[in-house]
Amino acid sequence: MLELRYYGDPVLRKKAAPVEKFDDDLKEFVAQMIEAMGAEDGVGLAAPQIGVSLRLAVIDASGGESAPYVLINPEIVYSTAESEDYEEGCLSMPGISLKINRPAQLSVKAQNENGEFYTIENAAGLLSRALQHEIDHLNGILFIDHVSSVQRALLKGKLKKISEKNA
């Protein structure tokens, strides 16, 4: 089982490297990530959250209704000027949920585990939110970076407790 990294682990602050090798090891790793996301009841999981600094994330915004998205080397190719508030949480910061303001819709280009390019057009709602949150992880950005310093200061005690979960 893959081990989750929590707030305070330096890997969560690193800009992840592009995936270059689309081999069997990668497919196996993607399968493990999907399994870990399901086990944690997560909407998304980025590779840095399990200590692997690669540009790779999985998302299931359908509650298991459809196959999860495998996003390798994802890029936001379009986002709306219109933004919205949406409640976010993160497996690396259990117990914290915050309303975050981000673009309402966006389109993302990515590769799948076979290296094939595909585009998710005009994602909205939970999928849009999960895409932005997970792509942030690949750039070392956490959702708490999007709130005011005052709001963040109020989380200090909770974040300290969470960081102590890192083995």
Q: Enumerate binding residues for Ni ion (CB under 5 A).
A: 90
Q: How far is the CB of 90 from Ni ion (least distance, A)?
A: 3
Q: How far is the CB of 28 from Ni ion (least distance, A)?
A: 23
Catalytic residue list contains 134: yes
Q: How far is the CB of 116 from Ni ion (least distance, A)?
A: 26
In the complex with Ni ion, the residue whose CB is nearer, 44 or 110, is: 44
Count of all residues that appear for the chain in the document: 167
The distance in angstroms from the start CA to the end CA of the chain is 15
State the Rg of the chain over Cα.
15
The SS3 call for residue 33 is helix
Q: How far is the CB of 137 from Ni ion (least distance, A)?
A: 6
In the complex with Ni ion, the residue whose CB is nearer, 72 or 135, is: 135
In the complex with Ni ion, the residue whose CB is nearer, 37 or 90, is: 90
- Choose the catalytic residue: 20, 40, 84, 134: 134
In the complex with Ni ion, the residue whose CB is nearer, 39 or 116, is: 39
Give the residue at shortest CB distance from Ni ion: 90
- Give strand pairing partners of 87: 99
Per the CB < 8 A criterion, the answer to whether 140 and 14 are in contact is: yes
Q: How far is CA 68 from CA 13, 77, 113, 146, in A?
A: 25, 20, 12, 26
Q: Which residues contact 162 (CB under 8 A, 6 or more apart)?
A: 6, 7, 8, 92, 93, 94, 95, 96
* Residues that are catalytic: 134
